[in-house]
Chain A
């Protein structure tokens, strides 16, 4: 519960209608895209400017009230669930594109702009912003930055962090800092820009971002390779990378995913295949044609049962639709869909998929796997029912073992969704206790009273590593 005095001060900053604490507003800001996570905030505020954010932060700092900043709440790690109450700050009013600099190839935006609208705008100017999270139709750039979103083009073009070159942010104290700028090179001190990207709202509230833009690829080509043997698909991935070809997209679907996707989208996919790779290359026409030819021959040399190169844009679209409908199809199987993102080095994709299948069988849960094979980022997705507590426990146990397996294979507990509350118990597995201490020290320096998105990243207790029973 917020004291009246706090509410009065907050209302004085943003105006009466932009602070709310009615039950409807609280309930509708108690969740994000993460299944089975919910907690009510004490108030919701909609700032209109950096100055307002700073003033709000000063008030909250004075009264030691937690702040959770958020965009559209599409994240899958519980990153914007207000687990300790406090004030949720919705950035949607700060949604302007401030500047597209055609001389420097940069764009400066406010955090609340919807990613897809931003992308459409830069594309209308003949430029390209590669990060393409699947949620881009509704997620905001600010949210993408906070979570360091990835997407289907991460392999060749990198993720959000590779395009953020400058930030304006409000600290827990209410002070405003600026990092980086329209510069391609800047080594003046620690790189706070990179530190803030992916910091999940725990270090500062991002109020403005300068993003790098690049020229769009001139030409692209899409192909599909199908395998009766999982290892064949995995070896293909490794061999493509080893041959120093970096496709724009290199996506993977396992057999259970192929089955549900085809059942849903009626695409006529081969149901007897163990795995499908969806590959897209873009760039100069000559290079694309050469790469696609080489990739096709690598696929064949690794015993692909069928290699299909899209001859028309419609055909290419159909192939991409197959991959993109994976989430939709899986979501329709059972009431609750838990989409995770264990990531391994690219050479270990097959081992990871086998591990996932073994673990799913062990715990008798349904886990389908698809994902960005090219960057080792897999999405093992459990379909379950939140009301079946016993099954949910089995799913949780299975995921714990999957994260363990990812670490053991040299990977990580999350490739693009972030830690939030969901992965917090496992963070230490990846970064070690000294790593956690270092991260806590950074948090302390930015936010000494632990007001910014508390309860995220750092768990009260780290889970014990599971002992894997071999044989």
Chain B
């Protein structure tokens, strides 16, 4: 940045709107075009977002807060500052957990602003390391948009894990070629599968007993190869609760990783394919069992709001998307209590929220309601369960330092709950929690599970004590 262009005493009674045009970088131009100036103006800098922000909490630095990041975006648009490496870094440091949105009196759409900023950063980035660029290209353009390729990756991973190759790689010390945080993630990756939920159990499943509604399962991509069982259990819980379940075959990745990393046009294409798939399948609701995906699914309305061909269908899709726990708790015809499967002593359970489920889908009670219905289990609140665990999509791979520090603080609180089971509602959080348990040497006394898998394991079909 040309420091001389900064006037130190630029006090003015009006906002800094001086549109002096320095030798604008192309990133600055893109930001000027893409950032929503209304939203930038709506931020009144009251600071209410600061305590909600995990990166501000870790660092105490204003630039690491939503208010700070918005000020940076506005400064670029107003021509006060040139976006540079540090600007890029700051936009990338944001976890995108959106905890700042419920805290904001002025209802600033921070999530949209950070996505717009990241799209510009992505277009003109100078700071990405080569492997990040390559990995992003392969993953975003080459794999996620194609369900069959996602499954091929699952198959390759499965081959790696089960053929003895994993043991060879580990024993030969080949993992040492990778950074520590990637080695850690490799260790806790669950067994992958090349068969997703459809290949395992088919596309149509009828409700047990009286049908309440027909729902479509959003199977996800990572979810479907790493957590196939969770998808299967989701279907079983839904049918047990009285829902006909359809799993449209033509659905694909939700596009969240793309949208949150600044690849908006790819996200839109993926969204359109999903909307078509579920529209054509004639479902009443679209069920998400991954908070991260769900948050983008409910945002499809905004994503496609300026596309006249899609606006209406996108709004329908967004309004009909619901988290599995919420539909089970509010509408499901499930037993009043989930039984204990065996004669084990009292299980202590705690729950780490998915940020996107809480802050975007605004659902945090339903999970607790269901967990409290489990017999022989005691629910302990996790202190600051509403705070991001540091997983945040691929954040823990791209920003390992900040993610690690956030995770360490999280695990201190987890430890205090003395829980046997740590439940989550999102695959990214689940992996991060598994990683945390391993990293903090707690695997002998605690396991992390998806809410769905836990509830299904406790669904005692013999004991029907129906609420509704």
A73 at the interface (CB under 8 A from B): yes
Nearest residue, chain B, Cβ from A25 = B63
Distance between Cα atoms of A75 and B80 in the complex (Å): 23
B41 at the interface (CB under 8 A from A): yes
Residue contact A35 to B106, C-beta cutoff 8 Å: no
Greatest chain B CB density within 10 A among A36, A135, A335 is at A335
Residue contact B46 to A24, C-beta cutoff 8 Å: no
| Chain A residues near B17 (CB-CB < 8 A) | 387
- Per CB-CB distance, the 6 closest pairs between chain A and chain B, nearest first, are A85-B8, A39-B11, A328-B105, A331-B105, A28-B68, A28-B62
Residue contact B51 to A114, C-beta cutoff 8 Å: yes
A84 at the interface (CB under 8 A from B): yes
Residue contact A138 to B10, C-beta cutoff 8 Å: no
Which residues from 357 to 411 on chain A have a C-beta closer than 8 Å to any C-beta of chain B? 385-387, 389, 392
Residue contact A331 to B47, C-beta cutoff 8 Å: no
A131 at the interface (CB under 8 A from B): no
Nearest residue, chain A, Cβ from B80 = A27
B347 at the interface (CB under 8 A from A): no
| Chain A residues near B84 (CB-CB < 8 A) | 23
Known contacts A85-B9, A93-B60; is A30 also within 8 Å of B105 by CB? no
Distance between Cα atoms of A42 and B15 in the complex (Å): 19
B185 at the interface (CB under 8 A from A): no
A226 at the interface (CB under 8 A from B): no
Nearest residue, chain B, Cβ from A332 = B107
Known contacts A138-B50, A138-B51; is A29 also within 8 Å of B62 by CB? yes
Known contacts A83-B9, A392-B14; is A31 also within 8 Å of B45 by CB? yes
Residue contact B8 to A1, C-beta cutoff 8 Å: yes
| Chain A residues near B82 (CB-CB < 8 A) | 23
Residue contact A83 to B44, C-beta cutoff 8 Å: no
Residue contact A335 to B71, C-beta cutoff 8 Å: no
B75 at the interface (CB under 8 A from A): yes
Known contacts A25-B63, A385-B41, A386-B15; is A39 also within 8 Å of B10 by CB? yes
B16 at the interface (CB under 8 A from A): yes
Known contacts A24-B72, A28-B63, A392-B14; is A33 also within 8 Å of B45 by CB? yes
| Chain B residues near A327 (CB-CB < 8 A) | 105
Query: Can you list 18 pairs linking A and B with CB atoms under 8 Å apart?
Result: A1-B8, A23-B3, A23-B6, A24-B63, A24-B72, A24-B90, A28-B63, A38-B12, A41-B8, A72-B50, A73-B45, A83-B9, A138-B47, A331-B46, A332-B106, A332-B107, A385-B41, A387-B41
B81 at the interface (CB under 8 A from A): yes
Known contacts A93-B60, A331-B44; is A36 also within 8 Å of B15 by CB? yes
Known contacts A23-B84, A24-B72, A28-B72; is A137 also within 8 Å of B14 by CB? no
A40 at the interface (CB under 8 A from B): yes
| Chain B residues near A93 (CB-CB < 8 A) | 60
User: Of B45, B105, B106, which contacts A32 at CB under 8 A?
Assistant: B45
> Chain A 64-107, CB within 8 Å of chain B: the 1/0 string?
00000000111000000101110000101100000000000000
| Chain A residues near B10 (CB-CB < 8 A) | 30, 38-40
Residue contact B71 to A336, C-beta cutoff 8 Å: no
> Chain A 169-198, CB within 8 Å of chain B: the 1/0 string?
000000000000000000000000000000
> Chain A 95-124, CB within 8 Å of chain B: the 1/0 string?
000000000000000000010100000000
| Chain A residues near B6 (CB-CB < 8 A) | 23, 26, 40
CB distance from B13 to the nearest CB of A (A): 6
Distance between Cα atoms of A81 and B15 in the complex (Å): 13
B87 at the interface (CB under 8 A from A): yes
CB distance from A85 to the nearest CB of B (A): 4
Which residues from 45 to 79 on chain B have a C-beta closer than 8 Å to any C-beta of chain A? 45-48, 50-51, 60-63, 67-68, 71-72, 75
B167 at the interface (CB under 8 A from A): no
Nearest residue, chain A, Cβ from B69 = A28
B86 at the interface (CB under 8 A from A): yes
| Chain A residues near B81 (CB-CB < 8 A) | 23-24, 27
Chain A's interface size range is 35 or more
CB distance from B416 to the nearest CB of A (A): 15
User: Of A38, A40, A81, A337, which contacts B44 at CB under 8 A?
Assistant: A337
Nearest residue, chain B, Cβ from A326 = B105
Give B contacts to A, CB under 8 Å: 1, 3, 6-17, 38, 41-42, 44-48, 50-51, 60-63, 67-68, 71-72, 75, 80-82, 84, 86-87, 90, 105-107
Residue contact B11 to A332, C-beta cutoff 8 Å: no
Q: Give 6 new A-B contacts, CB below 8 A, not counting A1-B8, A24-B72.
A: A23-B82, A27-B71, A32-B47, A33-B46, A83-B11, A139-B47
Residue contact B47 to A42, C-beta cutoff 8 Å: no
CB distance from A457 to the nearest CB of B (A): 15
> Chain A 1-43, CB within 8 Å of chain B: the 1/0 string?
1000000000000000000001111111111111111111110
Give A contacts to B, CB under 8 Å: 1, 22-42, 72-74, 81, 83-85, 90, 92-93, 114, 116, 135, 137-139, 327-328, 331-332, 335-337, 385-387, 389, 392, 455
Known contacts A40-B6, A42-B8; is A22 also within 8 Å of B71 by CB? no
| Chain A residues near B107 (CB-CB < 8 A) | 331-332
CB distance from B247 to the nearest CB of A (A): 37
Distance between Cα atoms of A83 and B7 in the complex (Å): 11
Distance between Cα atoms of A139 and B238 in the complex (Å): 46
User: Of B9, B38, B42, which contacts A39 at CB under 8 A?
Assistant: B9
CB distance from A390 to the nearest CB of B (A): 12
User: Of B12, B14, B41, B47, which contacts A33 at CB under 8 A?
Assistant: B47
Residue contact A28 to B71, C-beta cutoff 8 Å: yes
User: Of B46, B75, B106, which contacts A27 at CB under 8 A?
Assistant: B75
Distance between Cα atoms of A336 and B47 in the complex (Å): 15
| Chain A residues near B105 (CB-CB < 8 A) | 327-328, 331-332
Greatest chain B CB density within 10 A among A31, A41, A84 is at A31
CB distance from B210 to the nearest CB of A (A): 33
Distance between Cα atoms of A264 and B319 in the complex (Å): 20
| Chain B residues near A38 (CB-CB < 8 A) | 10-12, 15-16
User: Of B3, B11, B71, which contacts A81 at CB under 8 A?
Assistant: B11
CB distance from A419 to the nearest CB of B (A): 16
Distance between Cα atoms of A114 and B57 in the complex (Å): 11
Residue contact B9 to A336, C-beta cutoff 8 Å: no
Distance between Cα atoms of A79 and B89 in the complex (Å): 30
Distance between Cα atoms of A32 and B223 in the complex (Å): 43
Distance between Cα atoms of A410 and B265 in the complex (Å): 61
Residue contact A22 to B86, C-beta cutoff 8 Å: yes
Distance between Cα atoms of A400 and B45 in the complex (Å): 23
Nearest residue, chain B, Cβ from A329 = B105
Distance between Cα atoms of A386 and B7 in the complex (Å): 22
Nearest residue, chain B, Cβ from A386 = B15
Known contacts A24-B72, A85-B8; is A72 also within 8 Å of B47 by CB? yes
